[in-house]
Structure 1
Amino acid sequence: MLDVLTLDQLRIFVTVAESGSFRAGAARLSRVQSAVSHAIANLEAELGLALFDRAGHRPVLTAEGQALLANARDILLRVDALKARARGLGEGIELELSLTVDTLFPIDVVGAALAEMRAACPAVSIHLAVVPLGGPIMSLIEKRSMLAIVVGEDFRDPRIALEAIASVEQVAVVSAGHPLALRQAGGAVGLPDLADHLQIVLSDPTPLSRDRMFGVLSPQTCSVTSQDAKHAMILAGLGWGRLPFWQVARDLAEGRLVRLATGALGRNSQVAAEAYLAHRIDEPFGPAAAAFSQALKRQLGT
């Protein structure tokens, strides 16, 4: 009879699988190991199959256990979302709206939306962080932010709900006085030309992009920790790189920066990335978060 399964058994199963042993799982759950072992044994008996192979020093998921782990996680995520929604229905307005924004997203749009939100919810304090790459998603995973604006498809997590809100254009640029700008006066530049010069790149403050490189084409790089620093280094003629069009439109119009004339970096040296409003599925919008979401979409015309 499968209807005697409990959520507690599923949580113990997932915790043990993620921890790697009954002992470590028990420690994470603040329970004695015997109680955890007993709960897993009962679950296996109710399912009629072994979830763990206990022959070795540490328990290892069986093929059946591996297959059912995804289902268990999905059930627990949905239950957490249901509980959070119910909790949200019974609570009033938030005391603080915490928001983490990708450095590629136009911050003036965020400011206008926050001002709109504050007009509707004047008692709500705001905590705003602007970080690159995996930073916005990590802020949600670690519950440091209620909302995040994420740009691109590189960072996904099943605990995070995403809603597409806009497209962010990035342009490959270089200072007007840089050798690459002078070189392209005689024609398009190729990948060997780009590799001969320093590329300015953002470094990820999180472990999410460990051993991964995003758009790095030159063996010579200068890593910076903020989009403003990247912009300043490219303007100074130190190297080349991609910057959001909203940040460099005036520099391009006034001739301080030029587009890199190469088809290797997108048509007209420009590529688009989708921007998403993100939140944890177990942390639904409160009144202030909902007001900000609506205001942001109005600002973006979506």
Structure 2
Amino acid sequence: MLDTVTLDQLRVFITAADEGSFSAAARKLRRVQSAVSQAIGNLEAQLGVALWDRSTKLPTLTAEGRSMLTAARRVVGEADSLRKLAAGMVTGLEASVSLCVDALFPVCALVDLCRGLASAFPSVDLRVDTQPTSLVAARVLSGAATLGVVGATGIPPGLERQVLSPIRMIPVVSVEHPLARHEGRIPASRFAEHVQVVLAAPEQGDEHSVLSFRTFCVADLATKHALVRAGLGWGNLPEHVVQADVRSKRLARIQPEPWGEGEHVFHLSAIYRPDAAFGPVHRWILAELAKLCPRDAGLPHRPREAKSRRRNHRPR
């Protein structure tokens, strides 16, 4: 008998429950009350369950009716999602997106991107993967990710690039660390006696920037940040990661003499394969990345047009 239950019957049942009476449901659905009563009566007959207690002046849901109401909402919700997904596919809406971002990507921007995507495209599945710089492009090239966000040195030949925002890496140390008491530029010789915290998989600002003889190698940015804050060493970290600690005087900026001002500024870029045929979801993500990255990366930046390694190419 369940095969004969229709979505319309379930919608009428849900509306009657939400509105509190058959007459109110009829007004909401713009039907005569007898049509609503008949639809619900047929549903009860097909399910073999009394959904409404009609012994009182105003029918009320039975215990079984309340349980069925939950199931009915779930069925109708899934059906609505299926309809939206099919409609999206007809208009070119992608079913899923896989995004791989550099470990240095601003977390606030990533959270807002995911929140906006869930609101704008509720039927689209999203997979987010955070990887070291050296692995982001590999995932895009292999097709494991449809979009990547990475620093300029992590972009090999064969990928398209859209510049998003500059990232400034700044050398910092705990205010309790001896290096914090040094005024002005610090000679390279002073770093020999102190530990430098670096990422085990070299990221932007770490690869050619080891000044200390002793290093603590860590696997992720959060651990590096925590060790530097704990005073266990000094390190080069993204400005957007440490700016709150600098303002609160938990961390202090230092000036290594071997490094020039602005030496460790690089650009985050969105990357994708040249054969990518982007629909509305991917185009929306690219536009949002161009807005969110400059907002959270710590440097003023005006979004620019997509740059391509092939002339006149744009994601479709």
Structure 2 CA distance for aligned equivalents of residues 240 and 284 of structure 1? 44
Structure 2 CA distance for aligned equivalents of residues 98 and 91 of structure 1? 20
CA shift at 1:181, angstroms? 1.4
Structure 1 CA distance for aligned equivalents of residues 224 and 96 of structure 2? 31
Q: Is the 8 A contact 1:172 1:241 kept in 2?
A: yes
Query: Who is 2:156 aligned against?
Result: 157
Query: Who is 2:267 aligned against?
Result: 274
Cα offsets for 1:10-30 (capped at 9, x unmatched):
xxxxxxxxxxxxxxxxxxxxx
> How does the TM-score come out when normalised to structure 2?
0.60
Q: 1:128 to 1:198 in 2, by over 3 A?
A: same
Query: Who is 1:225 aligned against?
Result: 219
CA shift at 1:283, angstroms? 2.3
Higher RCO structure (Cα 8 Å, ≥6 apart): 1
Structure 2 CA distance for aligned equivalents of residues 214 and 104 of structure 1? 17
CA shift at 1:271, angstroms? 3.1
CA shift at 1:240, angstroms? 0.8
Cα offsets for 1:52-97 (capped at 9, x unmatched):
xxxxxxxxxxxxxxxxxxxxxxxxxxxxxxxxxxxxx998322221
| Stretches (4+) displaced over 6 A | none
Q: 1:150 to 1:175 in 2, by over 3 A?
A: same
Please state whether the residue corresponding to 2:168 is helix, strand or coil.
strand
Structure 1 CA distance for aligned equivalents of residues 117 and 283 of structure 2? 9
Q: Is the 8 A contact 1:171 1:270 kept in 2?
A: no
* AA at the equivalent of 1:165: L
Cα offsets for 1:218-264 (capped at 9, x unmatched):
23111111110000010111111111111101100111110113342
Structure 2 CA distance for aligned equivalents of residues 281 and 203 of structure 1? 31
Alignment of 1:1-302 (within 5 A): 92-151=92-151, 153-182=152-181, 184-185=182-183, 187-204=184-201, 213-267=207-261, 271-299=264-292, 300=294, 302=303
User: RMSD of aligned C-alpha atoms?
Assistant: 2.6
Structure 2 CA distance for aligned equivalents of residues 258 and 150 of structure 1? 27
User: Structure 2: 5+ residue runs without aligned partners?
Assistant: 1-88, 295-301, 304-316
Q: 1:263 to 1:285 in 2, by over 3 A?
A: farther
Please state whether the residue corresponding to 2:287 is helix, strand or coil.
helix
Q: Is the 8 A contact 2:173 2:179 kept in 1?
A: yes
* AA at the equivalent of 1:198: V
Identity of aligned residues (%): 28
> How does the TM-score come out when normalised to structure 1?
0.62
Please state whether the residue corresponding to 1:154 is helix, strand or coil.
helix
User: Structure 1: 5+ residue runs without aligned partners?
Assistant: 1-88
